[in-house]
Amino acid sequence: MSAPASKSPATLHDVAREAGVSLATASRSLNGSARKVNESYRLRVVEAAQRLGYTTNLFAQAVAKGSTTTVALLVADIADPYFSSIAAGVIDAASEENLVVTIAVTGRNSQRELDTVRALRGQRPRVMILAGSRTTGSPFEEHLRAELSSFEDTGGKVAFISQDAAPFATVLLDNRGGARDLAVALAGLGYRDVAVIAGPAEIRTAQERLAGFTAGLAEHGVQLPAERIIHADFTRDGGYRGTQELLATGATVDLIFAVNDVMAVGVVSALRDAGLVPGQDIGVAGYDDIPTVRDITPALTTVRIPLEDVGRRALRLATGTARDGAATGGPAGPGAIPTETIIRESTPPR
């Protein structure tokens, strides 16, 4: 059943010899082709391959065909549930199309992101998916665009998962709208003294969620004073520290909105460590609906994004297998991924 203990893998050549046919025939019967091969030959080849433990060398195949079966996925941090959920979706959809996913992490560092894209181009991936927020004001942003454009010029496809990243295909996340809806819902529940633990100022996702949230509050006549906006890291610890900072100002608030769930988790812990009861003393809301937030106490109010689905869509968008009109480069609107406000125990009515 298994292979010979030779020093290097069997090649197609070996298989052809073993089967007593030509290289061409072996290739045709093993790796599909427009042309037909006599069934008896095909069988002999397949058996020979089996016997030798042959597997097509994908690299060589890629070189010969001039196209690969690789998808490159860039994420900020694979251990972050937001990204790992997206990755799960991408991988799932990719395996359906027999594509192999390569993951690289950029650690929210534009410089490194750019380097990574450059390095990944060497793989000549069919598709490159960039998950994670764009930033404003980074000098690298422009270089990145140039690099990606040139990647597309040479036959690659690029897909973003974020806000509008024209001219590239994008799975649009309606951060503004989602945050606005959440704010409206919370204001409706009676919250009035609100603080926001926002992400780093230059991260667009953070900006948009903040803006949308502010707008939603305004619709209910609720103000969000600038000193109630704390910028912090996009991580659990960022949320934790941001909350400490907020509490230190002595502000009296009845609600803290963290612009993403991992931060919100930090908020909850910080409140508790400060002797407060999250949900009861101060409401907490997050954004993303990562799996864990329904299991923490109190279960977290948040905005759901179908993360795995987003990953799947990104892949399909890029490979052109998209089933439906998932957004591409246009402004947030009809094509954006629908979000859903989920009210849980962390924000009881006031």
Q: Considering only residues 1, 5, 7, 36, which one is a binding residue for DNA as defined by CB under 7 A? A: 36
* CA 272 to mean position of chain CA atoms: 30
Q: What CA–CA distance (Å, rounded) separates 196 from 238?
A: 12
Q: What CA–CA distance (Å, rounded) separates 261 from 307?
A: 13
Binding partner of residue 249 among a copy of itself, DNA, none, CB under 5 to 8 Å per kind?
none
Give the shortest CB-147-to-a copy of itself separation in angstroms. Answer: 7
**Residue 32 contacts a copy of itself per CB under 8 A:** no
**Residue 119 contacts DNA per CB under 7 A:** no
Would you give the binding string for a copy of itself spanning residues 247-276, x where CB under 8 A is met? ------------------xx-xx--x----
Return the residue matching tokens 């080849």. Answer: 45
3 state SS of 180: helix
**In this complex, which beta carbon is closest to DNA, that of residue 125 or of residue 212?**
125
**Residue 63 contacts DNA per CB under 7 A:** yes
**In this complex, which beta carbon is closest to a copy of itself, that of residue 43 or of residue 78?**
78
Angle at 34 between CA 28 and CA 39, to 5 degrees: 50
DSSP single-letter state for residue 292:
G
**In this complex, which beta carbon is closest to a copy of itself, that of residue 59 or of residue 331?**
59
Give the shortest CB-15-to-DNA separation in angstroms. Answer: 7
Instruction: State the number of CA atoms in the 13 A half-sphere of 296 facing the CB.
Output: 24
Q: What CA–CA distance (Å, rounded) separates 241 from 248?
A: 10
What tokens were used for 212? 């949308």
3 state SS of 345: coil
Q: Amino acid identity, residue 13?
A: H
Q: Considering only residues 24, 43, 146, 201, which one is a binding residue for DNA as defined by CB under 7 A? A: 24
**In this complex, which beta carbon is closest to a copy of itself, that of residue 187 or of residue 315?**
315
Based on C-alpha coordinates, what's the Rg of the chain?
25
Q: Considering only residues 3, 43, 64, 119, which one is a binding residue for DNA as defined by CB under 7 A? A: 64
Binding partner of residue 68 among a copy of itself, DNA, none, CB under 5 to 8 Å per kind?
a copy of itself
Element housing 72 (H / E): strand 70-75
Q: In the chain, how many H helices and how many E strands?
A: 12, 11
Cβ–Cβ under 8 Å, residues 95 and 316: no
Would strands 194-198 and 157-162 be described as parallel, antiparallel, or unpaired? unpaired
Stretch that binds DNA, among 21-29, 83-91, 264-272, 304-312 (CB under 7 A): 21-29
- What residues make contact with DNA under the rule CB under 7 A? 8-9, 11-13, 21-25, 27-28, 30-31, 33, 35-38, 41, 54, 56-57, 60-61, 63-66
- What residues make contact with a copy of itself under the rule CB under 8 A? 1-9, 53, 55-60, 62-63, 66, 68, 70, 77-79, 81, 84-85, 87-88, 91-92, 95, 100-105, 118-124, 143, 146-147, 149-150, 153-155, 236, 265-266, 268-269, 272, 291-292, 294-297, 308
